[in-house]
Structure 1
Amino acid sequence: MKLPEKVTIYEVGPRDGLQNEKTLVPTDVKAEFVRRLVTAGLPVVEATSFVHPRWVPQLADAAELMTILGEDGRDHPVLVPNERGLDRALELGLRHVAIFGSATETFAQKNLNRGLDEQFAMFEPTVRRAREAGLDVRAYVSMCFGDPWEGAVPVEQVVSVGKRLFDLGASQLSLGDTIGVGTANQVTALVTAFTDAGMTTDQLALHFHDTYGQALANAYAGLQAGITTYDASAGGLGGCPYAKSATGNLATEDLVWLLTGLGIEHGVDLEQLVATSVWMAAQLGRPSPSAVVRAVGGTPGPAQSPG
């Protein structure tokens, strides 16, 4: 089966990776993390989220972080949950934003304080205003493969929600296995369902968590299905504050190792990336869950000041 010649890795470590950390990471460390990821060759680095600090205190410094990143930071995507978040992104002159919807009723209520259908009324003006201002918009849809409260999620429900989010004006739709229960056959079935519904593979991205150790197998199934954009988190950092069963994201290093072995171009310097994840693990005071970081990078030493 023919695989893609090139893949884009959409790095989510600074946002999705750090949002669930128990320890608050200093803003200057976050800025250094972003810069190191860019230096390692990651073409897209999602920096933070303009969510209310009461809900995700780990990202309360979003505006300060983007200010520190300066002009270069304007091209880093940020998550905006609503129009208030968009206002903050516009004030800072940012060029790329993302919205985060849910494929299930329960998670929509817990994460957005909105019903499944009500979420679109919140996102519509956010996306419209962002597009009018010339910003690119990405849409995430979570719980695509399973929900901890509702169980298995019907494929047709995921497609219906995902297309509605995308059709608001997004340039790309990221399909999230938020709690990491998906399998390769499910990936194939879901991508097929979206393409049968009229979406193209270049409009879709895949976002896996590794709860059951299936993230790499699922990524390979995505490659076989023609998907060329994959969300990943340096060092396998991440989780979800509103889904306690969600563990770390697909580790960027593990994905890079897979792609390199398959001869697929990705543009990432694995040595620099591993060094970055070892450094961040030291900041957090614990080893990285990434298999490649453990194999190649060794054990992190004492945390050092960013520089």
Structure 2
Amino acid sequence: MRSAVKPSVKIVEVGPRDGLQNEKQPISVDTKVGLVERLVAAGVTHIEAASFVSPKWVPQMAGSAEVMARVPKVPGVHYSALVPNLQGLESALAAGCEEVAVFAAASETFSQRNINCSIRESLERFRSVVDTARAQGVRVRGYVSCVLGCPFEGAIDPEQVAGVAVALAEMGCGEISLGDTIGRGTPDGARRMLEATARRLGIERLAGHYHDTWGMAVANIAASLEMGVRTFDSSVSGLGGCPYAPGATGNVATEDAVYLLHGMGYDTGIDLGKLAEAGRYIGEALGRPTSSRVAKALAASCA
């Protein structure tokens, strides 16, 4: 009897960029490349590996061009980089990036604190970035932050999230990643936000990006799966946070997300054991234990 084909879910690994950018200590190019190599060996196929921002503002992302030059070029593995403006895009194009990402916020106050402009101004700023990237045959992904709450404004209207997501899509962003930047969202809130956004854009264009500050990230992934979302951002070992969101901790750990997805019958193409090894590698480099509950359980079961 033929076994049923498992439905697939795409994991976008953001640890090398979103995860490491919040570290206090400098991180060498060798360490970043070593992490990417281990993620690829674990079967991760979509990796946000770099950020072409000024090292003055995000020193941990220095050396992004060298990272992009050295990451393993493996068929089926795709790398992306964050770009804040045309200058960053030019650097990303020179480094051979095949996909870039731009970022907006669903909160006016967060937008001002993060990139020193209003939501409307940020979207206008990104229009030329998206146009130039697409003219060069480079895919563009859009991020919307603070979709389930803002550290300065509190609750965010789901329709506000939907409006920003639609604006990014209309200017040419193919996939829209919806980020719970402060990690306070709950499944009910995630459903309401996704309903509002999918009503105007379609669920197939959306990705979930959940931080785990209040321990709700895995629950929010499960709720998003029920809504039809099939792409999720995650960070190995639970790396991350946000320098402009006080108290926000890391992204959902990729190990935890993969364990959940496999347990629910979804295929990610990722080897959980090798993924945990990648998490141990970066944890040792940073001098601290993993934040992944699954990785801790795996280590305890092998002890």
Question: The TM-score by the shorter chain falls in which range?
Answer: over 0.9
How far apart, CA to CA, are the structure 1 residues paired with 2:284 and 2:206?
Answer: 34
Q: TM-score, normalised by structure 2?
A: 0.94
CA distance 1:67–1:13, shift in 2 (3 Å): same
TM-fit CA distance, 1:60: 1.5
- 1:281 equivalent to 2:283? Answer yes
Measured against aligned partners, the alpha-carbon deviations of 1:209-250 in whole angstroms (never above 9, x if no partner) come to 001000000000000000000000001110111112210110
Measured against aligned partners, the alpha-carbon deviations of 1:10-49 in whole angstroms (never above 9, x if no partner) come to 1000001100011111111100101110110112011010
SS at match of 2:122: helix
What number of residue pairs does the alignment pair up? 295
TM-fit CA distance, 1:59: 0.4
CA distance 1:264–1:70, shift in 2 (3 Å): closer
Unaligned runs of 5+ in 2: 1-5
SS at match of 2:87: helix
How far apart, CA to CA, are the structure 2 residues paired with 1:78 and 1:246?
Answer: 22
Residues 6 and 265, structure 1, Cα contact 8 Å, conserved in 2: yes
Q: How does 1:81-96 map to 2 (within 5 A)?
A: 81-96=84-99
SS at match of 1:121: helix
CA distance 1:62–1:89, shift in 2 (3 Å): same
Residues 206 and 222, structure 1, Cα contact 8 Å, conserved in 2: yes
TM-fit CA distance, 1:90: 1.2
SS at match of 1:46: strand
TM-fit CA distance, 1:72: 5.4
How far apart, CA to CA, are the structure 2 residues paired with 1:284 and 1:93?
Answer: 28
How far apart, CA to CA, are the structure 2 residues paired with 1:263 and 1:121?
Answer: 41
How far apart, CA to CA, are the structure 2 residues paired with 1:268 and 1:87?
Answer: 32
Counterpart pick for 2:169 among 166, 173, 197: 166
Structure 2 partner of 1:240? 242
Measured against aligned partners, the alpha-carbon deviations of 1:58-92 in whole angstroms (never above 9, x if no partner) come to 10111121122275599410000111110001112
Structure 2 partner of 1:78? 81
User: Residue 79 of structure 1 aligns to which amino acid in structure 2?
Assistant: L
Residues 158 and 197, structure 2, Cα contact 8 Å, conserved in 1: no
- 1:110 equivalent to 2:123? Answer no
- 1:223 equivalent to 2:225? Answer yes
Measured against aligned partners, the alpha-carbon deviations of 1:103-134 in whole angstroms (never above 9, x if no partner) come to 11111111111112110111000000000000
Counterpart pick for 1:180 among 172, 175, 183: 183
How far apart, CA to CA, are the structure 2 residues paired with 1:54 and 1:110?
Answer: 16
Structure 1 partner of 2:253? 251
- 1:137 equivalent to 2:140? Answer yes
Unaligned runs of 5+ in 1: 300-307
- 1:97 equivalent to 2:100? Answer yes
Residues 56 and 241, structure 1, Cα contact 8 Å, conserved in 2: no
Measured against aligned partners, the alpha-carbon deviations of 1:144-163 in whole angstroms (never above 9, x if no partner) come to 01111111011111111111
Q: How much is the aligned-residue C-alpha RMSD, in angstroms? A: 1.6
How far apart, CA to CA, are the structure 2 residues paired with 1:69 and 1:42?
Answer: 13
Measured against aligned partners, the alpha-carbon deviations of 1:193-219 in whole angstroms (never above 9, x if no partner) come to 11211x122200000000100000000
How far apart, CA to CA, are the structure 2 residues paired with 1:23 and 1:151?
Answer: 30
Structure 2 partner of 1:127? 130
